[in-house]
């Protein structure tokens, strides 16, 4: 049987715990950001972090028809997260690009930030909804970048290379491993298809840590 003294202590503890400030709940995404996230991540709104993988391997027949195309394989991994779940109502997007070339041995990759989801305002819609405009993704320190856009009922990703994007061979951060994918007659626009995330697992290592090494 609980004594009156112990009961008073227990009651005091419960009252003190109830008075403690509760952790702030995570902010819900804006309707526009949630809409774009559902499109990007195949119908689901991401939790702390989410990934979408898009891949294209060009076969010999395609390469023969496009003799100026340098890219033989392209993989694009998009991730999204809230940098501060208690405050943010939008997701921050980033990317990793993997590419192989016709005339260069080895695998190359790049990475950078894409910012927030693109939105357009419809006169009949308030707040704005996710739009079909290009989504800009850039490499730090003037490393160029790409624009991307969902297509084919969100089953594909269109990657556009306006000028160039800096790439590195493997995970080597040194300048000796640095080169670039330049836009050319057959290397300006790529259509990648949504793939199992396992196909992009090689791109999923710590992007920020690697970026810090590359830009020392």
Q: DSSP secondary-structure letter at 184?
A: -
Which DSSP string corresponds to 11-58?
HHHHHHHHHSPPPPPPPPPPHHHHHHHHHHTTT---SSEEEEEEEEE-
User: 129 pLDDT band (50/70/90 cuts)?
Assistant: very low
For 116, list phi and psi in degrees, rounded to 5: -95, 165
Q: Which domain holds residue 169?
A: 26-214
In a domain, 7, yes or no: no
- Output the pLDDT for position 4: 56
Confidence of residue 121 (pLDDT cuts 50, 70, 90): very low
pLDDT digits (tens, 9 = 90+) for 201-216: 888 766 555 555 455 4
Average pLDDT value for residue range 139-144: 89
Number of domains in the chain: 1
In a domain, 17, yes or no: no
Under the banding of pLDDT at 50, 70 and 90, the label for residue 123 is very low
C-alpha distances in Å from residue 107, one per residue of 97, 102, 202: 11, 11, 11
User: Does residue 172 sit within a domain?
Assistant: yes
Q: Is residue 156 part of a domain?
A: yes
Query: What pLDDT, on a 0 to 100 scale, did the predictor assign at position 137?
Result: 94
5 falls within a domain: no
- Name the residue among 212, 191, 210 with its Cα closest to residue 74: 191
Question: What pLDDT, on a 0 to 100 scale, did the predictor assign at position 13?
Answer: 46
Predicted confidence (pLDDT) per residue in 51-110, tens digit: 899 999 999 999 999 999 999 999 999 988 877 656 667 888 999 999 999 999 999 999
Which is more confidently placed, 37 or 88? 37
CA torsion, ordered 26, 31, 37, 40, to nearest 10 deg: 180
Burial of 148: CB neighbours in 10 Å, binned 0-12, 13-18, 19+: buried
């Amino acid at each position: 049987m609980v004594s009156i003294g112990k009961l008073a202590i227990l009651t005091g503890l419960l009252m003190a715990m109830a008075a403690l400030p509760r952790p702030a709940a995570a902010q819900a995404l804006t309707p526009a950001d949630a809409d774009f996230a559902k499109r990007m991540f195949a119908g689901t709104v991401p939790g702390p972090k989410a990934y979408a993988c898009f891949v294209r391997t060009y076969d010999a027949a395609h390469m023969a028809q496009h003799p100026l195309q340098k890219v033989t394989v392209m993989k694009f991994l998009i991730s999204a997260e809230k940098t501060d779940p208690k405050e943010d109502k939008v997701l921050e997007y980033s990317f990793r690009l993997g590419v192989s070339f016709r005339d260069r041995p080895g695998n190359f990759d790049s990475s950078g930030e894409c910012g927030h989801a693109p939105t357009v305002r419809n006169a009949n819609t308030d707040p704005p909804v996710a739009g079909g405009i290009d989504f800009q993704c850039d490499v730090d320190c003037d490393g160029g970048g790409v624009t991307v856009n969902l297509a084919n009922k969100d089953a594909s990703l269109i990657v556009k290379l306006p000028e160039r994007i800096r790439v590195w061979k493997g995970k080597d951060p040194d300048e000796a491993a640095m080169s670039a994918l330049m836009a050319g007659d057959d290397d300006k626009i790529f259509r990648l298809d949504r793939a199992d995330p396992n196909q992009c697992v090689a791109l999923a290592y710590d992007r920020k840590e690697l970026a810090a090494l590359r830009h020392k």
